[in-house]
Structure 1
Amino acid sequence: MPRSQSWRMTTNPMEKFWPLAIATMGLILGGCGRALFYQPQIATGGINSNFAEEFPSYSGDGRYLAFASERDGRRNIFLYDLQTNQLVNLPNLNRRDSSQDQPDLSEDGRFIAYVSTERGRQDVFVYDRNQGRSQLLTVNLRGSVQNPTISGDGRRVAFQSNERGQWNLMLVDVTP
């Protein structure tokens, strides 16, 4: 009785490369050392709370850090002065009946572009710290908005809107 033998008719050409790929990855990861697996430090001194802090944004001069947090029971925007290590008061920005979110800072930290539900839907506003008031930028815009970003001088804001059925970029001039 003849013995049966099985022959592999096809082979995966990548099979012979797996050991080489694994060895190469070991060299790459080993060479990166701490840089690849660096553990960032958790910020302290008033920045973090027992609630989620999100959407961090540095001012261009590096002095201020804006972020959103629910530490007051609703989503609000906070500004942290990295020179004095203290939260900065933002009068008239955060409201009890709405959420403020996704802040972005101008170069010197004077202007903050953000998303708010103040009118019962998402809108983009710009807050002027010197004036202590906000300006609505999306008066007649339909649809959702997100991710506002302000120019360094605080004169222009770009954001995403799905007013036309897909996410598009919108540019708005800020009037003083």
Structure 2
Amino acid sequence: MKHCLLICIVVMSSLVTGCTGYPRYLNFPFDGGGRGLNSRASDLEPQVTSTYIVFISDRNGSQDVYLFDAQQRQLISLPGLNALDEIASHPSISEDGRYVVFGGSRQGKSNIYVYDRQTEQKRNLTADLQAEVRNPIINADGTQIAFEIAQDGQWDIMIYDLSGNPLKLQ
């Protein structure tokens, strides 16, 4: 399981490096202290942009969101993002790295959160929904967030703008 993230990175490395036509192995050194990308922890659900890799890890004993800068080769601090009483899942990041979205479960209730790295603020986008939500993804420019919602006995797709307003598709 600990090598799952490394394998995914090898497969998706052309996205990170800008190469086309073939995968390229990215050699991130192992860090037993959990301060780098490769660690002994379970690192799950990686999503990549040209610069960033966002993923879920249990490095600190809870399932939290982590952000790695592939160019600087270091983890980025995300103050105010992770909570002790919350289980994070399915992170996604805008291309410029400003916005991180993820699913979070707290006391049996699922929600979709957006974190603004510039303001270091986390907002619950789905607090008013009386339904289960999961699998969020943010578009490249960080203006729209799509996620699954369970209503009326089935899973549907909702799309919100960054302010948390549902968008109507034509």
* TM-score bin, normalised by smaller chain: 0.7 to 0.9
Corresponding residue SS for 2:148: strand
How big is the shift at 1:126?
0.7
Q: Does residue 157 of structure 2 align to residue 169 of structure 1?
A: yes
Separation (CA, whole Å) in 1 of partners of 2:40 and 2:141: 34
Separation (CA, whole Å) in 2 of partners of 1:41 and 1:108: 21
Which amino acid in the other structure matches residue 139 of structure 2?
S
Corresponding residue SS for 1:162: strand
Matched residue, 1:157? 145
Match of 1:49 among 39, 49, 62: 39
Separation (CA, whole Å) in 2 of partners of 1:90 and 1:146: 22
How big is the shift at 1:152?
1.5
Matched residue, 1:90? 78
Could you say if the C-alpha distance between residues 43 and 117 of structure 1 is closer, same or farther in structure 2, counting changes exceeding 3 Å?
same
4+ aligned runs moved over 6 Å, structure 1: none
How big is the shift at 1:113?
0.8
Could you say if the C-alpha distance between residues 41 and 131 of structure 1 is closer, same or farther in structure 2, counting changes exceeding 3 Å?
closer
Q: Does residue 103 of structure 2 align to residue 122 of structure 1?
A: no
How big is the shift at 1:166?
1.1
Output one character per residue of 1:23-66: Cα deviation in whole Å (capped at 9) or x when no partner. xxxxxxxxxxxxxxx9x77753511222211111112xx11100
Separation (CA, whole Å) in 2 of partners of 1:119 and 1:127: 20
Separation (CA, whole Å) in 2 of partners of 1:92 and 1:118: 16
Unmatched runs of 5 consecutive residues or more in structure 1: 1-37
Structure with greater proportional strand content = 2
Matched residue, 1:101? 89
Could you say if the C-alpha distance between residues 175 and 162 of structure 1 is closer, same or farther in structure 2, counting changes exceeding 3 Å?
same
TM-score by length of structure 2 reads 0.73
Matched residue, 2:122? 134
Separation (CA, whole Å) in 1 of partners of 2:64 and 2:27: 21
Unmatched runs of 5 consecutive residues or more in structure 2: 1-22, 31-35, 165-170
How many residues of Structure 1 are paired with residues of Structure 2 in the alignment? 137
Which amino acid in the other structure matches residue 55 of structure 2?
F
Corresponding residue SS for 2:41: coil
Output one character per residue of 1:82-105: Cα deviation in whole Å (capped at 9) or x when no partner. 111110000000011112221101
Separation (CA, whole Å) in 1 of partners of 2:151 and 2:43: 28
Which amino acid in the other structure matches residue 163 of structure 2?
T
Separation (CA, whole Å) in 1 of partners of 2:73 and 2:95: 19
Matched residue, 2:17? none
Which amino acid in the other structure matches residue 74 of structure 2?
Q
Which amino acid in the other structure matches residue 150 of structure 1?
I
How big is the shift at 1:147?
1.2
Matched residue, 1:79? 67
Separation (CA, whole Å) in 1 of partners of 2:29 and 2:99: 25
Corresponding residue SS for 2:38: coil
Corresponding residue SS for 2:130: coil
